[in-house]
Amino acid sequence: MGVAALLLVGAAACADEIQDGYFHTSDGVRLHYREAGTTGRTLVFIPGWLMPAEIFDGQLRALSSHYHVFALSPRSQGQSAAYAGRHTPELRARDISEFVEHVAPGDFVLVGWSLGVMEGLDYVHRFHPHGLKAMVLIDNSIGEAQPPRAAPAKRRATETAAERVERLRAFVRSMFHTPQPPEFIDLIDQSVLRVPNDIAQELLAKPYPREYYKTVIYKEGVPVLYAITPRLREQGAALVAHLPGARVTVYPSAGHALFVDAAAEFNADLERFLEDVH
């Protein structure tokens, strides 16, 4: 059974395993997060572009017996409050910092996926969290080697509201190589489609050269797990060459949301990595 199915099958029996939490940022925006487990090392998950915290429910359930696991819905995404102002890189990094301070005042491991890789590394660069013990970077460029191929379902120069819905729905479905339950896809669609187009595009407009991200990784000096699909294999090889001890795992049969498509494998790889983090 796939991880997404676990979000639906037996939900009544597992309802108390994952809890919803909320906190207010320093500028008064109410952000939503998911939490599971109460003991062990703290893991903080940051999702990708327009995604809700629930995308990581499979990890929260699988890892909560040994770890205290949190997943954030960034502002305007998922069940977090919509925000009409600019979603600048500085603001997004500050949100992560305040979230970490709220849920993980001690040591923690940061796990970012897709845009969450970039925003997580930006947070690390700006705030230098003293409790950061390791980073897990899931399927995005880290500024090494050659840039990856462009993502599918790019925005047209002009499009109608109906065309935008079609494009974003196609984007959501392109993230998976295995069939997912309709209820799970609908939940993601709701998060993606609620973000206004100007904000969605602003989130992608990071003002840094691509090398910025690898510089953050090498300067921080903490253990790194790079979990990727084959399109990023060259960047993984460059990471290992420049950062001895870094671990790279390639998931050849998974889509961009590899932790959903290959949930059991990813969760096991993550646990093996965490066992060696001190």
Torsion of CA 199, 142, 250, 229, to 10 degrees: 30
Contact 51, 80 (CB under 8 A): no
Question: What are 41-64's pLDDT values in tens digits?
Answer: 999 999 999 999 999 999 999 999
| Residue 152: pLDDT over 70 | no
Q: 158 falls in which pLDDT band (50, 70, 90)?
A: confident
Question: What are 86-141's pLDDT values in tens digits?
Answer: 999 999 999 999 999 999 889 999 999 999 999 999 999 999 999 999 999 999 99
Domains, in order of start, for the chain: 14-275 (3.40.50.1820)
Q: Which residues make beta-bridge pairs with 42?
A: 68, 108
For residue 21, what is the DSSP state? Answer: E
CA atoms within 13 Å, Cβ hemisphere of 174: 10
Contact 52, 31 (CB under 8 A): no
Question: What are 195-254's pLDDT values in tens digits?
Answer: 999 999 999 999 999 999 999 999 999 999 999 999 999 999 999 999 989 999 999 999
| Residue 2: pLDDT over 60 | no
Statement: the pTM of the whole predicted model exceeds 0.85: yes
Helix (H) or strand (E) holding 122: helix 115-127
